[in-house]
Chains A and B, each alone.
Chain A
Amino acid sequence: MHTLRIDPADPRPIWRQIEETVRHLIASQSILPGSSVPSVRDLARELQVNPATVSKAYQRLTDAGVLTVKRGEGTFVSDAPPALGNGEREARLLREALRYASLAVTLGASQEETVETLKAAWGGLTSGDEE
């Protein structure tokens, strides 16, 4: 999966869909460290979305160290994984895990099913499949 699509039926804001898909593309190595990403203008036109939306997603990815802006050259996937302080990294992982766990509970999933699904998703990333 090398393309970025947005889904109008998805309740997540479009900037978040873009942000999370870019993270996914990087995690699954569909886009490699050091490679360039489309300009805000080009991606906005391709997705037919407001450039401010793309810009917001890129800004958050840049703040998180996932993307790097090289002045005058464009925006690139960072070479090294973002260096987060140890406490921050763990807090972040826990926060996202909590979100997933709460969702699983409201869907009535068992702990076992929830963990198995996470493993399947992890496997999907490394084999390059989209969920």
Chain B
Amino acid sequence: MTSPTASPAPLIQTEDVTVRYGRRTALEGVSLSVPAGSVYALLGRNGAGKSSLVRCLLGEQRPKTGRALLLGKDIWKQRASVLREVGVVPEEPDAPPAMTARQLAHFCSRLYPRWDAEGVSARLRRFGVPEDVPFGRLSKGQKGQVALALALAPSPRLLILDDPTLGLDPLARRTFFDELIGDLADRRTTVFMTTHDLTAVEGIADRIGILQDGRLLLDDELENLKRRFRRLSFPKTEAGVPAAVAALAPVAVAARGWSVEAVVSDYDEAWLPHETGSRVEISSLTLEEIFLALVGEAKGGTV
């Protein structure tokens, strides 16, 4: 929920960002903004361009056109000063394999003006990550947890998480989100994350972006999405899709056994199903179902 008292200046703003690798276009004119205090989840299938966008946000990739502003500054031009106020959990957390979590924390602490050393230890204890085992010998989940503990230690204004729970078991995922929720409760940190974990994001994110083939397909508040999207199920007949349903311009239509399901993206409570002349059941969608309707079945679906 974006509170009305939140500062109007977005912590992330991309303006018409385009990235090409040779002749391949990875991102095409992506403009999005992440308001202060919000939790933004960027979704997309593998190869949709999520990683390219994260690289632009971290100043690791220069957009061919457009620019990415973090905390109001062009990240490509002011990378070092901006990243001091940004916590990052990369997709594959990397660190010198011989260094222990304790040594890593000590090393990182000197790079930041503020550093909550006790917070790091407390988090690692809660995660059950040993502080004296070399980073290279930790599991994938533990590496991610070390990365989160280190990312939160300088009390960053903005946290960027690149698919942080990829490959984690359900318990490790839960612990990870518990910790994130705790930080949100304490400090209302602004979060930008890419993820495939739609169930978790459903409760935590307040704004959703969906990338497909390098373009931003959708960028809206989750609450709005849930209000706008509906599934309309009606019996399969020779007549096909009833005119009243077709008038709502479904984003996906698929046959399911004896019935046909249409997903509409601009549902209006005033729409009356009996005007279709057939029985129409209306149901709401989870974020995962909305995502699938937009990027999955819309393409390969058959009626």
Interface residues of A (CB under 8 A from B): 6, 8-11, 13-15, 40-41, 44-45, 47-53, 56, 106, 108
- Most B CB within 10 A of own CB, among A6, A9, A11, A47: A11
| Shortest Cβ gap from A39 to chain B (Å) | 8
- B37 proximal to A (CB < 8 A): yes
Instruction: Report whether A48 and B177 are in contact in the complex, using a CB–CB cutoff of 8 Å.
Output: yes
Among B1, B272, B286, which residue has its beta carbon within 8 angstroms of that of A52? B1
20 contacts between A and B (CB under 8 A): A8-B202, A9-B284, A9-B285, A9-B286, A13-B226, A41-B181, A44-B184, A45-B182, A48-B174, A48-B177, A48-B200, A48-B203, A49-B204, A50-B39, A50-B203, A50-B206, A52-B206, A53-B206, A56-B1, A106-B272
B3 interfacial contact with A, CB 8 Å: yes
Residues of A within 8 A of B206 (CB): 50, 52-53
In the complex, are the beta carbons of B223 and A13 less than 8 A apart?
A: yes
Cα–Cα, bound, A116→B75 (Å): 62
Query: Size class of B's contact patch?
Result: 20 to 34
Find out whether the CB atom of B203 lies under 8 angstroms from the CB atom of A52. Answer: no
| Cβ contacts B281-296/A at 8 Å (1 or 0 each) | 0011111000000000
What sequence of 0s and 1s flags, for each residue 182-196 of chain B, a beta carbon within 8 Å of any chain A beta carbon?
101110100000000
- Residue B274 at the chain A interface, CB threshold 8 Å: yes
Q: Please name all residues of chain B whose beta carbon is closer than 8 Å to the beta carbon of A41 when the two chains form the complex.
A: 181-182, 185-186
Q: How far is the CB of B136 from chain A (nearest CB, A)?
A: 31
CA of A41 to CA of B3, assembled, Å: 17
Chain B residues with a Cβ under 8 A of chain A: 1, 3, 37, 39, 174, 177-178, 181-182, 184-186, 188, 199-200, 202-206, 223, 226-227, 230, 272-274, 283-287
Q: How far is the CA of A49 from the CA of B287 in the complex (A)?
A: 14
Most buried by B among A41, A48, A53: A48
In the bound complex, how far is the Cα of B197 from the Cα of A18, in angstroms?
A: 23
Residues of chain A contacted by B204 (CB below 8 angstroms): 48-50
Give A14's nearest chain B residue, CB to CB: B203
Whole-angstrom CA separation of A50 from B205 in the bound complex: 7
* Closest beta carbon of chain B to A92's beta carbon, Å: 20
A38 to B142, CA, bound (A): 30
Residues of A with C-beta under 8 A to B285:
9
Instruction: Give B289's nearest chain A residue, CB to CB.
Output: A9
**Among the interface residues A9, A13, A49, A50, which one has the most CB atoms of the partner chain B within 10 A?**
A50
